[in-house]
Amino acid sequence: MQDKDRELSKYRFSLAEETLANAKMCLDNHFYRDCINRSY
């Protein structure tokens, strides 16, 4: 894997982790529709 591809993968994984954390916050606060939306 080239360095460029590796950096892009790290960036996308970081965004996915952030989105998942946001979905968990929505779930914890009973915002179920937003949780489902962010879970995709």
Q: pLDDT > 70: what percent of the chain?
A: 98
CA angle centred on 14, ends 10 and 33, rounded to 5°: 145
Please determine, for residue 18, whether its predicted confidence score (pLDDT) is greater than 70.
yes
Question: Where along the chain do its domains lie?
Answer: 3-39
The pLDDT of 5-25, averaged and rounded, is: 95
DSSP annotation string for 1-40: --HHHHHHHHHHHHHHHHHHHHHHHHHHTT-HHHHHHHH-
Whether 27 shows a pLDDT value over 70: the answer reads: yes
What is the reported pLDDT for 39?
82
